[in-house]
Amino acid sequence: MNRRLYPGRDYRRAQSIDELRELARRRLPNFSFEYVEGGSDDEFTLARNRAIFQSITLQPRTLRNVGTRDLRRDVFGKPSALPFMVGPTGFNGLLTAGGDLRLAEAAARAGIPFVLSNASTSSIEEIAAIDGIRAWMQIYLYRTRDHVAKLVERVRRLELEAIVVTVDSAIFGNREWDRRNYVRPLQLDLRNKLDVALHPEWVWDVLVPNGVPRFANLGDLLPPGKDSVKGAASALAAELDPSLNWDDIAWLRDIWKGKLIVKGMIHPADAEIALGYGVDGVVLSNHGGRQLDGSVSAMETLAEVARLARGRMSVFLDGGFRRGSDIVKALLLGADAVLLGRAALYGLAAGKGPGASHAIEILRSEVDRTLGLLGCSSLDELSPELIHAPAWRAAAQAVAGHAPHGAGEAGSNLDGRRMPIDAFS
């Protein structure tokens, strides 16, 4: 028999994130799935984010006692049950009713942090009220700074742990495949309208009885009656500020004394500057391949940033994570934790809240299995010797302090600002 992914609709039978992706594709109308799935321009960066993991080969140890394994990881001095968290993703109300709330509940059940998107359709207050939640808030530095200041005050009042400010979206990326679904901004063409009608389960879940989902945290930024996902597009586009710079980070640092994380940088020099502005962490990211096409993957600059940041700030990243082994590879290169984007959304779209929990469980089991197969009983036992690819192992050694920066085997490029292209081509 020919191999094929599970063709049904029961998310519980999905064996992998890729299988959840296929279930999500079948359940969602095309325009909604395309919003989740697509990248910018020719989608080279989107593909690169996945391809990079194939180049990082592993070299396991054997005959070690791995009968019990510990997947816990401290994040900002507090225990997290797993070395990954649910990152910020917008418009989740278009995947299922209360999408952000369902994702946050899944994160709380798993004992991991959840980052609420500024463009969420659930309010900060709803998320903060979830029992056991460890919630962070993602924001954009819009032109209307009074709105940002009020949002920060809401976060402070609710005693959320951290603010994650996204800095790579001051100019929208060119998402052609997403735009092709519309005859004009957010007005679906006839083909996609018919496709929506062919997805009655989604219609009854998302559009009935409350209509198009509405943004829950942007009320004072939007014109009256323009807080729906459809109506807010032009207003939000006008609020993006291409003049965004480090002075704006200083302003935010001044009004927010909690944990501050800058998301969306990918150059080590920017991470080094961030240290001078007193940030507590960075998220290396190319926005899931949705902004600059041709950008390097966060994995390519991770080791250099982790070496610079060691002991001074936390280093997180996102982009292309679909397997537990991907997450372990990031930890080997110095990441404190990984942020999930599409991987969690596929579960949410395939099976609502329980589907999101299933996605987290798939990755938990894969991290656990990878750790054991490498011969480690805890994340603390991960070491550069477990990486076989010479250039990547040399990078990991520099992070761990096992070799001087710039040293390593032939093919390494530790004096540069990223891993060489020939390391994975």
Query: What is the domain-level CATH number for residue 365?
Result: 3.20.20.70
Distance CA 158, CA 161 (A): 9
Looking at the DSSP bridge assignments, the partners of residue 114 are: 86, 135
User: How high is the pLDDT of residue 370?
Assistant: 98
Q: Name the pTM for this structure.
A: 0.93
Is the residue at 3 inside a domain? no
The candidate with the shortest Cα–Cα distance to 335, out of 294, 367, 304, is 304
- Residue 48 domain-assigned? yes
Q: Which helix (H) or strand (E) holds 193?
A: helix 190-197
Residue 259: beta bridge partners? Answer: 162
pLDDT in tens, 33-42: 999 999 999 9
Contact yes or no for 315/77 (Cβ under 8 A)? no
pLDDT of residue 231: 62
Q: Which amino acid does the sequence have at 340?
A: L
Q: What is the pLDDT of residue 214?
A: 87
pLDDT score of 220: 80
The per-residue pLDDT for 322 is 98
pLDDT given at position 230: 65
Q: Indicate whether 83 belongs to any domain.
A: yes
Computed over its alpha carbons, how large is the radius of gyration of the chain?
21
Q: Quick one: CA torsion of 143, 149, 152, 156, rounded to 10 degrees?
A: 180
Inside any domain, residue 268: yes
Q: Which residues are annotated as a binding site for FMN?
A: 88-90, 117, 138, 166, 285, 318-322, 341-342
| Contact predicate 143/169, CB 8 Å | no
**Number of domains into which the chain is organized:** 1
Residue 247, domain extent: 16-56+63-174+238-379
Q: Is 87:350 a contact under the CB 8 Å cutoff?
A: no
Q: Which residue positions form the known binding site for glyoxylate?
A: 35, 140, 175, 263, 287, 290
Positions annotated as catalytic residues are 287
Range 386-389, long-range pairs (CB < 8 A, 24+ positions) = 386/58, 386/59, 386/60, 386/61, 386/332, 387/56, 387/57, 387/58, 387/59, 387/329, 387/332, 388/57, 388/58, 388/59, 389/55, 389/56, 389/57, 389/423
What was the pLDDT predicted at 210?
Answer: 82
Does residue 23 lie in a domain region?
A: yes
Q: What is the pLDDT of residue 218?
A: 87
pLDDT per residue over 395-405, tens digit each?
Answer: 999 998 854 33
Below-70 pLDDT ranges, the chain = 225-226, 229-234, 402-425
